[in-house]
Amino acid sequence: MDAVVKKFVPQVPHQPGVERPSQAEVEAAVRTLIRWTGDNPEREGLLDTPKRVAKAYREMFGGYDMDPVEDLGRTFEETAGYDGIVIVKDIDFHSHCEHHMVPIIGKAHVGYLPDGKVVGLSKIIRVVEIFARRLQTQETMTAQIASTIQNVLKPRGVAVLIEAEHMCIAMRGIRKQGSTTLTSSFTGAFEDSPEEQARFMAMVRNGGK
């Protein structure tokens, strides 16, 4: 298929007015947190922990340095007239709750109705990954994925379903393990048509049968 590359105004990845601290400042902050737990950051097992944490955070929150608009900018118009639903399901992701900075672990299911062009399936996965690798609430992440795909790809509709377990529930507070949270967001034809919503949900739950 021939690719059609179009230019989009990129989103600003970083929050306005946020200046990243230096490596030394990050490591000092981790040492403070270790002392806060009641442990000694100078003991052998923890000596390199501040450096490791800084490196891990740079990876886990790398979504702030990525632009989902750029990933969706390469589309294909040679579709042989296909205009049915396209679904990428069971997209595993790890994110972090913006309230307690502990993990959110789940799966995302993303569908859209093409309007003359499609996007590479891996690009849908990338959009999920980019938003997951930021401090998040599940509700916000669900809406961000749907609105970004809708605004950039401009399909006839977008459907997003996310199911995830929140460690802020499993590890602290009520401490209930195994409970999951479901969120969904629909645009265009999916928002307007309960039948399209039902079809998306059935394909996600029944493997397209």
Q: Residues at the annotated binding site for Zn(2+)?
A: 97, 100, 168
3-state secondary structure at position 96: strand
Residue 96 annotated in active site: no
Helix (H) or strand (E) holding 204: helix 194-206
Pick the catalytic residue from 11, 163, 165, 168. 168
Q: DSSP strand E in 56-126: where?
A: 74-76, 86-97, 103-113, 118-119
Could you count the other beta carbons within 10 Å of the beta carbon of residue 128?
Answer: 24
Pick the catalytic residue from 96, 97, 144, 196. 97
- The CA distances from residue 111 to 37, 87, 160, 165, 191, in Å, are 44, 4, 6, 22, 13
| Distance in angstroms (rounded) separating the CA atoms of residues 99 and 165 | 15
Block residue for tokens 């990129």: 10
Pick the catalytic residue from 138, 144, 150, 197. 138
Residue 19 annotated in active site: no
Residue 166 annotated in active site: yes
Residue 138 annotated in active site: yes
Q: Which residues are annotated as a binding site?
A: 97, 100, 168
Residue 109 annotated in active site: no
Residue 23 annotated in active site: no
Pick the catalytic residue from 100, 163, 165, 191. 100
What is the phi/psi pair of residue 5, to 5°?
-100, 125
Residue 150 annotated in active site: no
Pick the catalytic residue from 42, 99, 139, 195. 99
| Distance in angstroms (rounded) separating the CA atoms of residues 37 and 151 | 44
Pick the catalytic residue from 136, 144, 150, 166. 166
Pick the catalytic residue from 78, 98, 139, 195. 98
Annotated catalytic residues are 97-100, 138, 166, 168
